[in-house]
Structure 1
Amino acid sequence: MADRPHVLIGTPELDAVMDALADVLRATRLNGGAYLRGEFREPWCIAGGTGLPDGVAPYLTDTTEIVPYHFVLDGLLRVKTDGAPPLEIQSGEAVLFPHNSAHVLGGDLALPPTPSADLITQSGDDVPMFVMNLDGSGHCTRIGCGYLAGERLRFNPLFRALPPVLPFKVRESRAADWVRSTFQYAADQIADGRIGSDTVLAKVSELLLVEAVRSYVDALPDGQSGWLAGLRDAYVARALRAMHSDLGARWTVEKMGREAGLSRSAFAQRFTGLMDMTPMQYLAHWRMEVAAQQLCATDRSILAIAQDVGYDTEAAFSRAFKRHLGKPPATWRRNRARMGSE
């Protein structure tokens, strides 16, 4: 593989990264619909499960993808997941769990963990604001916790590429002061029952994930492969941006190469080496993902959807759709509608 030109801050290549990332996040329909304030005095240790606590679930309906996160406002947080060494999360840092992994957090991980669901209480009627407290005699750690919730995609290149535990040094981010102050502001507004405060917090939660992903991409070592490694490469990032912004175009590998600024063969080799699939395979997967979402979420005709994702005829689209998802689009739509009505 030739030397890789990395995406640089403030360049068109960064715009390409953000456009492709935003497209996948839009498809996932992530939103931050619940917030928890935690105050814990040493010694303490709690267990975070993979499901939603009973009180939280009503605020995150129709959810199949959950990304819990913890933002340390003051103090020190230690985190442990199965099969991984413990992490220390300092004040001004955050940790996210892109695969919704079960985890233990606390000041002393050797203690028997208290289930977090046993500690959660709602801070007021009809507001998505919850509190957790454990009273000890030592130093106090304050954390803000939340859930990014959305729809699990059949082909999600972002979540497939992220590790189970994603630490993020918010204080080193360009948006550090804004994230921290807005988190606190939105939490205070929710606690006071102010209209629209949950929307503000949802947007801040999404920003937290985006900034964490950007930080993770910046730190990827050379030689890494996968979607995020592709985003980090200036040539592949330009091609991904072009594909995501115009799925209906008559794409060929040669045309993708022109968008990237490479010859057909050089682009194909570079893309496949970084992304672990060919350019046309990636395009087909993402086209089918977008088409499946449109079939479920709209009443548009199958032909209109087919044309949106680059197919001239309904027959050609139906064959491709069945090859990827196992059923023709009309059958897929009926089955999903039946599941949604049950």
Structure 2
Amino acid sequence: MDLLTEALESMRTGHPTSIRTDGHAPWGLQLPSTAGAGFHVVLYGSCWLVPVDVRHLEPIPLSTGDVVFLRSGARYILADHPATLPEVPGPERYTKAPPIGSVVLGGSGPRTTLLCGNYHLDMARPHPLVRQLPEVVHLPTRHGRHSELNAAVQLLGAELDNPRVGSDGIVPALIDSLLLYILRAWLDEQPAAAKGWSAALRDSAIAPALGAIHDAPSAPWTVESLAVRSGLSRAAFARRFAVLVGEPPMAYLTRWRMTLAAKLLRDSDMPLTTVAAQTGYSTEFAFAKAFKREYGIAPGGYRRQARAA
């Protein structure tokens, strides 16, 4: 099982939204806070990313090919210079044209072209892999770094500069895939001595145990049976798992089961007894009790809220 893909899919609550932004100096754009995670790709030119809500971060210079992932969807400013006052364009400023809409800002100076967007992720209960990301992931792709991510950026730029037959399908698919390329590139950058999920996914003992949980979440896993998968003793496995993953094995198993249950409740009409069975609970009552303990609401109520949102 591809743990990265599955972790992200468990958090998705909708398709990405995006817009092409053309800024001519002097220009500035204030980005509102969002419920998911933001991203920006510099297709041409250069600019600055200026934090608004995250006080400990300094403005970040961006150049052609740079990709930025904003984990929490906090407010930021994009501008030709950190001192440029931003604007918040109204809906009338946006042009709706295939494959995505666009907005043009600023004066008559040098141009910067960006793809700006939002991934709709459930950030109320993020997967630990996403929760452990830094607030801003900045990935320069120039000088041969991150070849796959760079290729995706170049393909996006080509499709947006010259839309042709098929662009309406190609661009959304590329934007959707971009999230995996971003996180893969970030994981590849982590040092061998790193802790957390970047280390857990590479660890020869913990990765097989995580794979087993994700392959068969309904199986009657115990610390002992997972330790067998890892090739470690029970005590050594439990310690190593908690250090790398950030929580004990059984706590992660419960979290993952509840995450899958929430997704099944949101995205399907599956009966509660079936949801319970697929997430490792022998009765609907036991499942409902565990779900309410995690989410503070009964499964049926959660499903109704999710459908009404």
What is the CA-CA distance between 1:251 and the residue it aligns to?
0.8
Of residues 69, 85, 94, the one that matches 1:112 is: 85
Q: Does the Cα contact within 8 Å between 1:31 and 1:202 map onto a contact in 2?
A: no
**Structure 1 residues 31, 158: CA separation in 2 closer, same or farther (over 3 Å shift)?**
farther
**Structure 1 residues 118, 325: CA separation in 2 closer, same or farther (over 3 Å shift)?**
closer
Q: Does the Cα contact within 8 Å between 1:122 and 1:131 map onto a contact in 2?
A: yes
Distance in 2 between residues matched to 1:187 and 1:275, nearest whole Å: 39
What is the CA-CA distance between 1:42 and the residue it aligns to?
2.3
What is the CA-CA distance between 1:244 and the residue it aligns to?
1.0
Q: Does the Cα contact within 8 Å between 2:95 and 2:103 map onto a contact in 1?
A: no
What is the CA-CA distance between 1:278 and the residue it aligns to?
0.3
Of residues 112, 129, 142, the one that matches 1:158 is: 129
- Map 1:296-315 onto structure 2 (within 5 A): 296-315=266-285
**Structure 1 residues 40, 318: CA separation in 2 closer, same or farther (over 3 Å shift)?**
closer
**Structure 1 residues 301, 138: CA separation in 2 closer, same or farther (over 3 Å shift)?**
closer
Of residues 297, 304, 307, the one that matches 1:337 is: 304
Farther-moved stretch of structure 1 (228-237 vs 202-211): 228-237
Instruction: Deviation per CA, 1:2-56: give whole Å up to 9, x if none.
Output: xxxxxxxxxxxxxx6xx111111111236654332222222322211125xxxxx
Give secondary structure in 2 for the equivalent of 1:105: strand
Q: Does the Cα contact within 8 Å between 2:69 and 2:137 map onto a contact in 1?
A: yes
Corresponding position of 2:172? 202
Equivalent AA in structure 2 for residue 44 of structure 1: W
Corresponding position of 2:64? 91
Relative to the length of structure 1, the TM-score reads 0.78
Distance in 1 between residues matched to 2:149 and 2:86, nearest whole Å: 31
Distance in 2 between residues matched to 1:104 and 1:338, nearest whole Å: 33
Relative to the length of structure 2, the TM-score reads 0.86
Distance in 2 between residues matched to 1:29 and 1:122, nearest whole Å: 27
Corresponding position of 2:33? 50
- Say yes or no: does 1:247 pair with 2:217: yes
Give secondary structure in 2 for the equivalent of 1:114: coil
- Say yes or no: does 1:121 pair with 2:94: yes
**Structure 1 residues 341, 218: CA separation in 2 closer, same or farther (over 3 Å shift)?**
closer
**Structure 1 residues 325, 135: CA separation in 2 closer, same or farther (over 3 Å shift)?**
closer
Corresponding position of 2:226? 256
**Structure 1 residues 93, 264: CA separation in 2 closer, same or farther (over 3 Å shift)?**
same
Q: Does the Cα contact within 8 Å between 1:40 and 1:142 map onto a contact in 2?
A: yes
Give secondary structure in 2 for the equivalent of 1:111: coil
**Structure 1 residues 304, 21: CA separation in 2 closer, same or farther (over 3 Å shift)?**
same
Instruction: Deviation per CA, 1:296-317: give whole Å up to 9, x if none.
Output: 3333232222221122233332
What is the CA-CA distance between 1:326 and the residue it aligns to?
2.9
Instruction: Deviation per CA, 1:245-298: give whole Å up to 9, x if none.
Output: 110112111222222232222211111112221011010011012112223333
Q: Does the Cα contact within 8 Å between 1:121 and 1:130 map onto a contact in 2?
A: yes
Q: Does the Cα contact within 8 Å between 1:68 and 1:98 map onto a contact in 2?
A: yes
- Say yes or no: does 1:27 pair with 2:1: no
Q: Does the Cα contact within 8 Å between 2:266 and 2:306 map onto a contact in 1?
A: no
Instruction: Deviation per CA, 1:65-120: give whole Å up to 9, x if none.
Output: 43222111121121121310111122111112121110011121112112254784
Distance in 2 between residues matched to 1:116 and 1:164, nearest whole Å: 25
What is the CA-CA distance between 1:150 and the residue it aligns to?
4.1
Give identity over the alignment, percent.
Answer: 30
Farther-moved stretch of structure 1 (276-285 vs 177-186): 177-186
> What is the number of residues matched between the two proteins?
304
Give secondary structure in 2 for the equivalent of 1:36: strand
Distance in 1 between residues matched to 2:83 and 2:140, nearest whole Å: 25
Corresponding position of 2:203? 233
Distance in 2 between residues matched to 1:197 and 1:299, nearest whole Å: 33
Corresponding position of 1:174? 147
Q: Does the Cα contact within 8 Å between 1:95 and 1:168 map onto a contact in 2?
A: yes
Corresponding position of 1:103? 76
Report the RMSD for the aligned CA atoms in angstroms.
Answer: 2.7
Distance in 2 between residues matched to 1:30 and 1:135, nearest whole Å: 34
**Structure 1 residues 280, 325: CA separation in 2 closer, same or farther (over 3 Å shift)?**
same
Give secondary structure in 2 for the equivalent of 1:43: coil
Distance in 2 between residues matched to 1:304 and 1:36, nearest whole Å: 40
Give secondary structure in 2 for the equivalent of 1:277: coil
**Structure 1 residues 307, 105: CA separation in 2 closer, same or farther (over 3 Å shift)?**
same
Corresponding position of 1:265? 235
Farther-moved stretch of structure 1 (240-249 vs 141-150): 141-150
Gaps of 5+ in 1: 1-15, 52-64
Distance in 2 between residues matched to 1:119 and 1:265, nearest whole Å: 62
